[in-house]
């Protein structure tokens, strides 16, 4: 079995065993959002994750009957046995190891943020939605006429003010990807993103992936600072900047 299918089966086991508690601990609003998000993250069909969940349902005391009229595959039996004693927090730890692109760095960032937010589950939800939106873009950008002949460069870890660079001949387009669970909501630009968007203008795009709770779809906004459909309001906060100095 391919690794991503095995991981999808593990997610199905998690969703079946812990049911609505599984959704709550990861911040999902419904099962459809979970299927869509994990499907993009693992590069499998959302229906596959639902089918795995349904296969495990007859074993657990939830309201669903699942696939109770057919024998369970041996691979599912083996997974049940292997993880029979794993509690919900143990499952979440393993899920993070599956979905975090850079587990050591992402887990460290999560621990630091949790000290400030008192809820590290917000971090995993933001990260999952963001990564799923980025994968959606990678899967679909060439269907857009303007981008169909572009080559893709991932700049998510470069801190340059956008997530992807699309190269075309002697120019490039900068793409900042945003994700929303619902069909509407709030998106934010950091100071760097705003400055780069204002500088690049027609060559800067926001690619918004939304509606994970039903079926993901996208809107694309060119030159977003001056886009009529987007009205960015400046929000200022007064903060205390702390630094640590040492004499040598």
- Flag whether 217 is in a domain: yes
Segment 21-75, tens digit of pLDDT: 999 999 999 999 999 999 999 999 999 999 999 999 999 988 888 777 788 889 9
- Flag whether 114 is in a domain: no
Per-residue model confidence (pLDDT) at position 107: 67
* Host domain of residue 202: 142-226
Mean pLDDT computed over every residue of the chain:
90
157 and 216 share one domain: yes
Q: Among 37, 68, 99, which residue terminates a domain?
A: 99
- Flag whether 244 is in a domain: no
Per-residue model confidence (pLDDT) at position 118: 52
Query: CATH number, domain at 196?
Result: 3.40.1350
The pair of structure tokens assigned to 61 is 């005391």
**Domain count of the fold of the chain:** 2
Quickly state the pLDDT bin for 4 (edges 50, 70, 90): very high
The pair of structure tokens assigned to 125 is 């939800």
pTM of the model: 0.88
Per-residue model confidence (pLDDT) at position 175: 98
Per the listing, tokens 């994968």 go with 135
- Flag whether 122 is in a domain: no
- Report whether 24 contacts 34 (CB < 8 A): no
Q: How far apart are CA 213 and CA 28, in angstroms?
A: 8
């Amino acid at each position: 079995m391919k690794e991503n299918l095995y991981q999808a089966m593990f997610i199905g086991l998690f969703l079946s065993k812990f049911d609505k508690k599984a959704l709550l601990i990861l911040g999902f609003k419904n099962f459809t959002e979970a299927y869509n998000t994990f499907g993009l993250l693992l590069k499998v069909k959302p229906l596959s994750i639902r089918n795995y969940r349904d296969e495990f349902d007859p074993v657990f005391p939830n309201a669903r009957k699942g696939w109770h009229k057919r024998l369970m595959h041996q691979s599912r039996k083996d997974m049940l046995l292997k993880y029979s004693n794993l509690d919900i927090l143990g499952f979440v730890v393993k899920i993070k190891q599956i979905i975090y692109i850079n587990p050591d760095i992402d887990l460290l960032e999560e621990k630091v943020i949790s000290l400030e937010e008192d809820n590290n589950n917000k971090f995993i939800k933001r990260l999952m939605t963001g990564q799923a939106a980025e994968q959606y873009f990678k899967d679909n950008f060439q269907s857009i006429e303007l981008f169909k002949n572009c080559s893709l460069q991932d700049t998510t870890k470069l801190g340059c003010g956008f997530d992807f660079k699309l190269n075309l001949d002697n120019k490039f387009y900068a793409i900042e990807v945003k994700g929303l669970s619902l069909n509407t909501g709030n998106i934010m630009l950091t100071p760097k993103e705003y400055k780069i968007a204002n500088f690049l203008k027609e060559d800067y795009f926001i690619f918004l992936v939304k509606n994970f709770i039903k079926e993901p779809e996208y809107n694309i906004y060119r030159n977003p600072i001056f886009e009529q459909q987007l009205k960015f309001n400046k929000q200022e906060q007064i903060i205390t900047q702390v630094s640590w100095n040492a004499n040598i």
